[in-house]
Chains A and B, each alone.
Chain A
């Protein structure tokens, strides 16, 4: 799992590359746990190269979502592969989280 970050004044984009499972999800959790992340207005998660997500990866997003909402930080997923989107759908997380098709829509969200 590789996580690349692009940052502007108000937006942090996380580019996820690889497989997010019980072994690798700690890397993502460490990034999302940094206090300075709450200075952003938006966290955009580019999932184009995210080939797999298990409950451990989903759990990281679930565990930070309320903190982000309380701090008015919007979490938006985009470029998600169909098989990964399907995992969010199985649990109904697609209705609790913002998932859009493209980067343009993520920036406008």
Chain B
């Protein structure tokens, strides 16, 4: 089963994507904690794409496609921004240090990497695609 959604790049649409993913997952007999984890991981990447990748430009769009195959949930997030968002050199942060210096951001991808089984960022002809996968237990 697959479903798709297109949103404009504004923070107001974060909840739209969360509700879309949550509604999609309700038929897979998952716990509230499991659904929340997947929704959270998606929300973190979508927020990064909207805010950092597309500068909250509402004229730009993000395509969201979700599906499940052999009990593996997969989501594709695609935009056409020239400057792709890709945390290629990601290093897990030291949270105690973040507390000490009062750092406000930087733990989103830590959540994504700890929750999802696979995280992929690819760029092809100015189409940036992020794919997240999680086996549904």
Contact = CB atoms under 8 A, between A and B. Distances in A.
B78 interface: no
Contacts of B96: 96
Interface stretch (A4-12, A38-46, A50-58, A101-109): A50-58
Contact of A67 (B51, B102, B104): B102
Q: Dominant SS at the A interface?
A: helix
A2 to B, nearest CB: 15
Contact of B107 (A62, A64, A83): A62
Nearest to B11: A23
B95 A96 contact: yes
Interface residues of A, number: 28
B1 interface: no
Given A22-B51, A87-B111, A52 B18 contact: yes
Interface in A5-21: 19, 21
Given A22-B51, A60-B104, A55 B44 contact: yes
* Shortest beta-carbon contacts, A-B, top 4: A55-B108, A23-B11, A83-B36, A63-B104
